[in-house]
């Protein structure tokens, strides 16, 4: 199959909250990455490794399907994809190799700034747009709130202005995206950081050796950051 490759594949966010620090971590581990802007695959020059630069939300699935051997991803996205794949009867296996010291963010419900928000009951009967329907649905259930969940894979923050939803549920890091779109954080439903994950049942001995070489370096970089 086309995806079979001798080179170790690491899935990394192309652009967004995790990309700069993911790149920095790998560089600090000695990987010389040739990142030509628009390329999907970046070759590591001094090791048999390829970096797949994709949307963060696609990384867990790529690892679970064996397209990538490793991935750097936020715990919240990982949890969402796992829940969805279990429902869809797709493989949802992975192993966490390391908890990383960046990518801190929260999954939050946000409403228009001018709205008088008075707690979760304000969401009753509302429509909420999100890329994380499983985590949101679980939260709403726990809170006993009936709201309509609408799935959007991108540009969730414009949904209220576009009249597609009353509220959104999305990742918040600095808060700049909410601010720029006239929204305010109403509820935090999940806090997370980035993790390094591996495909379960990775068989290739060369890949295992390479990972065993990388792990102490990753731990070392994180200790140095403390
Ligand atoms: C998330 C989220 C917002 C942004 C929030 O995007 O969807 O766009 O981060 O960060 P801020 O609070 O610092 O503004 P992500 O990095 O997951 O990229 P994506 O939307 O392309 O998946
Ligand atoms: Zn994302
Ligand atoms: Mg986004």
pLDDT in tens, 8-34: 999 999 999 999 999 999 999 999 997
Whether residue 210 is found in the same domain as residue 99: yes
Whether residue 57 is found in the same domain as residue 85: yes
**CATH number, residue 197:** 3.40.190.10
Question: What single DSSP character describes residue 57?
Answer: G
Q: What's the rounded mean pLDDT across residues 146-156?
A: 96
* Cα separation, 115 vs 81, whole angstroms: 31
For residue 90, being part of any structural domain is answered with: yes
Whether residue 123 is found in the same domain as residue 159: yes
pLDDT band at 52 (very low <50, low <70, confident <90, very high): very high
Cβ distance 6 to 48 under 8 Å?
yes
Structural domain harbouring 174: 105-191
* Cα separation, 91 vs 103, whole angstroms: 25
Which residues fall inside 5 Å of ion ligand 2, going by CB? 56-57
Indicate if ligand 1 lies below 6 Å from the C-beta of 174: yes
Token readout for 59 is: 């990384």
Whether residue 98 is found in the same domain as residue 199: yes
Strand 49-54 and strand 183-192: the pairing is unpaired
For residue 67, being part of any structural domain is answered with: yes
Q: What's the rounded mean pLDDT across residues 180-206?
A: 94
pTM of the model: 0.92
For residue 26, being part of any structural domain is answered with: yes
Give just the sign of the alpha carbon dihedral 26, 213, 70, 53. positive
Whether residue 99 is found in the same domain as residue 198: yes
Whether residue 91 is found in the same domain as residue 109: no
Which ligand is located closest to the Cα atom of residue 171?
Answer: 1
Give just the sign of the alpha carbon dihedral 128, 117, 146, 88. positive
Q: How far is the CA of 203 from the centre of ligand 3 (A)?
A: 34
Whether residue 90 is found in the same domain as residue 111: no
Whether residue 156 is found in the same domain as residue 138: yes
pLDDT in tens, 79-122: 999 999 999 999 999 999 999 999 999 999 999 999 999 999 99
Number of domains in the chain: 2
């Amino acid at each position: 199959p086309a995806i079979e490759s001798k080179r170790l594949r690491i899935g990394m966010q192309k652009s967004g909250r995790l990309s700069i620090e993911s790149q920095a971590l790998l560089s600090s581990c000695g990987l010389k990455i040739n990142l030509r802007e628009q390329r999907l695959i970046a070759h590591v020059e001094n090791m048999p490794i390829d970096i797949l630069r994709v949307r963060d939300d696609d990384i867990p699935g790529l690892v679970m399907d064996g397209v990538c051997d490793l991935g750097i991803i936020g715990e919240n996205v990982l949890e969402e994809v796992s829940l969805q794949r279990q429902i869809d009867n797709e493989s949802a296996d992975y192993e966490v190799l390391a908890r990383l010291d960046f990518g801190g963010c929260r999954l939050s419900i946000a409403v228009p700034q001018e709205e008088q928000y008075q707690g979760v009951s304000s969401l009753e009967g509302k429509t909420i747009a999100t890329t994380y329907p499983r985590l949101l649905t679980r939260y709403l259930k726990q809170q006993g709130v009936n709201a309509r969940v609408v799935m959007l894979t991108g540009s969730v923050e414009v949904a209220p202005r576009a009249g597609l939803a009353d509220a959104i549920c999305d990742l918040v890091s600095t808060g700049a995206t909410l601010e720029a779109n006239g929204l305010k954080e109403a509820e935090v439903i999940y806090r997370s950081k980035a993790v390094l994950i591996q495909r379960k049942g990775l068989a290739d001995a060369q890949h295992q050796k390479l990972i065993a070489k990388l792990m102490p370096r990753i731990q070392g970089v994180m200790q140095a950051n403390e």
